[in-house]
Structure 1
Amino acid sequence: MNSIIVKPKNEILKKYIQYFLFFKKTDQEPLNYTTFPNTNLCLAIYKQNQVFYTNEGGTNLCKISNGSTYVSRLYGFHKLPFHVNIHGALDQICIVFQPSALRAFTNEAYENLMLSDTVFDEIFSFEKSFLDQIFDLNDFAKRAEELEILLCENLKDNLPYKIKEALVLINTNEFLSIDDLSKNLKISEATLFRLFKNNLGQNPKSYLKTIRFRKALDDILKPRNSLTGIAYQNQYYDQSHFIKDFKNLTGFSPNKIVEKISVTEKDFAWICQNLQNE
């Protein structure tokens, strides 16, 4: 499977879009990959696939097979590793939003969007032939350029000031507690909870926990970092707490994940393997 990440060129758009991710698979061989919880939200557009997504109990699984229509779904707010099983060909575009950035394009409730198979159509205004035209482009960079034009045309930026302020505080100190964050923003914890749920789609505790995990994952993938040091640097209670939390979010121990990771990019790490070789 061919995959490529393209960063947006438009300076304004960079505040909202982390990157575009393109997958292309022309054979019919089964394949799976696994990614891990992150703070971003991914809008995935499939050209001719059927998509079945289950996220309940201990299952966080997306099954993709051959189809005949466009499907678009949102993925994010994961509390478990995200497993994707592909059975057939695949031509997929992912728009990966910065935290809370989806609110710059739509006010539709997250609960509704996360259940939809036509999210792209519901959020953006575009010509009926747009998806045909963009998937006809074999150059992924050109696909990204066309997506940037569409996104800029639909940009509203109606985020509340307080959520912007909250994200600036977290970027400055990702180890802020809920109490510290609410005090800095001069709002109650209940208001903070509503602010995050309405604009980021997840509560502040889950958001901060995911940020800490992603920082720890980046540290683990760097050579010569000890687990004790990583746990301390990322303010886990102790090494056992760090290992338990890490296994819940990835399915692997910190030491094992280094062997398993197949592909790494900034903010993107995944395990990919042929299903027949499992």
Structure 2
Amino acid sequence: MNSMIIKPKNEILKKYIQYFLFFKKTDQELLNYTTFPNTNLCLAIYKHNQVSYTNEGETNLCEITNGNTFISRLYGFHKAPFNVNIHCALDQICIVFQPSALRVFTDESYENLMLSETVFDEIFPFERNFLDEIFDMTDFAKRADALEILLCENLKDNIPYKIKEALILINNNEFLSIDELSKNLKISETTLFRLFKNNLGQNPKSYLKTIRFRNVLNDILKPRNSLTGIAYQNQYYDQSHFIKDFKNLTGFAPNKIAEKISVTQKDLAWIYQKLENE
């Protein structure tokens, strides 16, 4: 399977879009990949596929099979490893949003969007021919350019000031407690919870936990970093708590994950493998 990350060129758009991700698979072999919780939100658009997604308890599984129409779904807010099984040929485009950035393009509730298979049409209802046109392009760079134009034309920055302030505070100190964050913002914890749920789609505790996990994962994938040092650096003062948290989010112990990762880039860490069709 071919995959490519392309980051936006437009300086304004970079505040809202982390990157575009393109997948192309032409064979019918069964392929599996696993990704891990992150703070971003992905709008995945499929050409001629069916998507079955189960996210219940410890099961976080997406099954992709042949179809005959466009499907577009949002993925994110994971609390467990995200497993994807691809049973067919695939042509997929992903728009990966920065935290809260979906609010720049739509006021629709996260709850409704996370259940929809026509998310693209709901966010961009007047772009009726866009998907036909962009999937006709074989060059990933041209697809990225077309996406940039579409997104720039639909920018309307309506992210509340308080959520922007919250993200700046967290960026400056990722170990803020919920109490400290609400006091810095001069709002109640109840208001903070509602602010995050309405504008990021997840509560502040989950968001902060995901940030800490991604920092830990990035540190583990760097050579010569000790697990004890990584744990303390990320304010885990109980090794058993550190290991339990990490296993819940990846399915592996911290000392085993590096050997399992197949693809590592600045924004990606995947376990990727071909499987035998049943």
- In which range does the TM-score fall when normalised by the shorter chain? over 0.9
Structure 1 counterpart of 2:151: 151
Pairing of 1:84-163 with structure 2 (within 5 A): 84-163=84-163
Structure 2 counterpart of 1:204: 204
Q: Within 1, Cα distance between the matches of 2:180 and 2:205?
A: 12
Give the partner amino acid of 1:8.
P
How high is the sequence identity, in percent, across the aligned residues? 85
Structure 2 counterpart of 1:68: 68
Is the CA contact 1:126–1:150 (under 8 Å) kept in the aligned structure 2?
no
Alpha-carbon deviations, 1:24-81, whole Å to 9, x = none?
Answer: 0000000000000000000000011000000012210000001110000000000000
Structure 1 counterpart of 2:24: 24
Is the CA contact 1:227–1:239 (under 8 Å) kept in the aligned structure 2?
no
Pairing of 1:1-278 with structure 2 (within 5 A): 1-276=1-276
Q: Within 2, Cα distance between the matches of 1:187 and 1:129?
A: 44
Tell me the TM-score normalized by structure 1.
0.98
Is the CA contact 2:81–2:251 (under 8 Å) kept in the aligned structure 1?
yes
What is the CA-CA distance between 1:128 and the residue it aligns to?
2.2
What is the CA-CA distance between 1:126 and the residue it aligns to?
4.0
Alpha-carbon deviations, 1:145-193, whole Å to 9, x = none?
Answer: 0000000111111011000000000011111110110010011111000
| SS of residue matched to 1:137 | coil
Q: Within 2, Cα distance between the matches of 1:277 and 1:183?
A: 54
Is the CA contact 1:174–1:211 (under 8 Å) kept in the aligned structure 2?
yes
What is the CA-CA distance between 1:127 and the residue it aligns to?
3.4
Q: Within 2, Cα distance between the matches of 1:221 and 1:127?
A: 41
Sort the Cα spacing of 1:277 and 1:71 in 2 relative to 1 into closer, same or farther, 3 A: closer
Q: Within 2, Cα distance between the matches of 1:102 and 1:213?
A: 22
Structure 1 runs not aligned, ≥5 long: none
Is the CA contact 2:45–2:72 (under 8 Å) kept in the aligned structure 1?
yes
Give the partner amino acid of 2:198.
N
Alpha-carbon deviations, 1:225-263, whole Å to 9, x = none?
Answer: 000000000011222211110000000011111000000
How many residues align? The count is 278
| SS of residue matched to 1:276 | coil
Give the partner amino acid of 2:183.
K
Q: Within 1, Cα distance between the matches of 2:100 and 2:237?
A: 29
What is the CA-CA distance between 1:277 and the residue it aligns to?
9.2
| SS of residue matched to 1:259 | helix
Q: Within 2, Cα distance between the matches of 1:173 and 1:256?
A: 29
Alpha-carbon deviations, 1:68-102, whole Å to 9, x = none?
Answer: 10000000000000000000000000000000000
Sort the Cα spacing of 1:55 and 1:259 in 2 relative to 1 into closer, same or farther, 3 A: same
Q: Within 2, Cα distance between the matches of 1:26 and 1:76?
A: 26
| SS of residue matched to 2:276 | helix
Is the CA contact 2:121–2:127 (under 8 Å) kept in the aligned structure 1?
no
Q: Within 1, Cα distance between the matches of 2:105 and 2:262?
A: 33
Give the partner amino acid of 2:235.
Q
Alpha-carbon deviations, 1:185-211, whole Å to 9, x = none?
Answer: 011111000000000000000000000
Q: Within 2, Cα distance between the matches of 1:275 and 1:57?
A: 25
What is the CA-CA distance between 1:219 and the residue it aligns to?
0.1
Is the CA contact 1:66–1:88 (under 8 Å) kept in the aligned structure 2?
yes
| SS of residue matched to 1:272 | strand
Q: Runs ≥4 in structure 1, deviation > 3 angstroms?
A: none
Is the CA contact 1:125–1:154 (under 8 Å) kept in the aligned structure 2?
no
Is the CA contact 1:73–1:114 (under 8 Å) kept in the aligned structure 2?
yes
Q: Within 2, Cα distance between the matches of 1:277 and 1:271?
A: 18
Is the CA contact 1:38–1:77 (under 8 Å) kept in the aligned structure 2?
yes
Q: Within 2, Cα distance between the matches of 1:163 and 1:257?
A: 33
Is the CA contact 1:52–1:64 (under 8 Å) kept in the aligned structure 2?
yes
Structure 2 runs not aligned, ≥5 long: none
